[in-house]
Amino acid sequence: MNNDQLKNLEQIDKTNLFHPITNLKSHTSEDVLILDRGEGIYVYDKQGKRYLEGLAGLWCTSLGYGVKELAEAASEQMTKLGYASLFTSKSHEPAILLSEKLIEMSPYDKGKVFFGNSGSDANDTQLKLYTYYNNALGNTSKKKIISMGYHGVTVASASMTGLPAQHKLFDLPADGFFHIDTPHFYRGALENENEEQYVQRLTQNLDDLICKEGPETIAAMIAEPLMGAGGVIIPPTNYFPSIQKVLTKYSIPLIDELNVHLVELVMFGVLIHLT
Ligand SMILES: Cc1ncc(COP(=O)(O)O)c(C=O)c1O
């Protein structure tokens, strides 16, 4: 592609495309990186420059680019049956067999698969299921969500995401969403505080929040076991065992986003643990 063609494509982008998570003002004056193709762990722009795709898309192209088997399977299925929903007891073979395989791959020996379109959609679904469950049991005031980490961009999942930039000017988080400390020892520890004391302080803060809001009003806590968007941060070793004790004490379920990710690796969706 020559320079004029590239500039023309860039102009069409700037005129017609609304980019998410982008400063739309600076986008109008900055160069646009237009990708063309991918191979393995690399992607190439329109001028053939090669980039190492370290993030694997948005963590979702972990099988790499240009995988022939995936292209062939998609082509075969699109030719055979290009679309079918799972509404009202309709089903199809690929969904049935994939659900079985995902259960086999999951850490649970029992459960069901609910397919979605994205990670944000998956987390909205988690929330809807807890709302449905609590309403069905008559626990109609058990709706609050405690959150740690990144969970997406829709109204509910952005409310769960702990990034102020995703809240500002969107009137988010919506009512009933509460954020706890990010377990990032390097950035968050007080002077002379060791890892154990740091974990204890964060655990106490969680306990205090639950008591302040009322344990009987909290539907669930959602957390990223390893914070991806936050900078690939691994929490202190004892963080999850420590907060799990508090959640168990108040019978608050933990939505572990690792399970959402497990399914995202194969296809965007959500794995619901029913046991
Ligand atoms: C932990 C986590 N949850 C949810 C999401 C949202 O997924 P999506 O961008 O597919 O809506 C992401 C995206 O990167 C994520 O890292």
Q: 150 alpha carbon to ligand 1 midpoint, in Å?
A: 7
For residue 200, give the CATH number of its domain: 3.40.640.10
62 is a domain residue:
no
pLDDT, tens digit, 9 for 90 and up, residues 36-51: 999 999 999 999 999 9
116 is a domain residue:
yes
39 is a domain residue:
no
Report how far apart the first and last C-alpha atoms of the chain are (Å, whole number). Answer: 55
Which uninterrupted H or E stretch holds 271? strand 269-272
Closest-CA residue to 62 (of 263, 207, 226): 263
Q: 80 alpha carbon to ligand 1 midpoint, in Å?
A: 30
46 is a domain residue:
no
Which structural domain, as residue segments, surrounds residue 113? Answer: 86-272
93 is a domain residue:
yes
* pLDDT for residue 259: 53
pLDDT-derived band of residue 258, with 50, 70 and 90 as boundaries?
Answer: low
Number of domains in the chain: 1
Select from 19, 21, 58, 268 the residue to mutate for testing ligand 1; criterion: most ligand atoms less than 8 Å from CB.
Answer: 58
Q: What order do you get walking across the sheet with 42-45 strand by strand?
A: 35-39, 42-45, 50-52
73 is a domain residue:
no
29 is a domain residue:
no
Answer yes or no: are the C-beta atoms of 223 and 257 closer than 8 Å: yes
pLDDT, tens digit, 9 for 90 and up, residues 133-178: 999 999 999 999 999 999 999 999 999 999 999 999 999 999 999 9
Place of tokens 């070793």: 237
pLDDT at 27 over 60: yes
74 is a domain residue:
no
Q: 120 alpha carbon to ligand 1 midpoint, in Å?
A: 6
216 phi, psi to nearest 5 deg: -70, -10
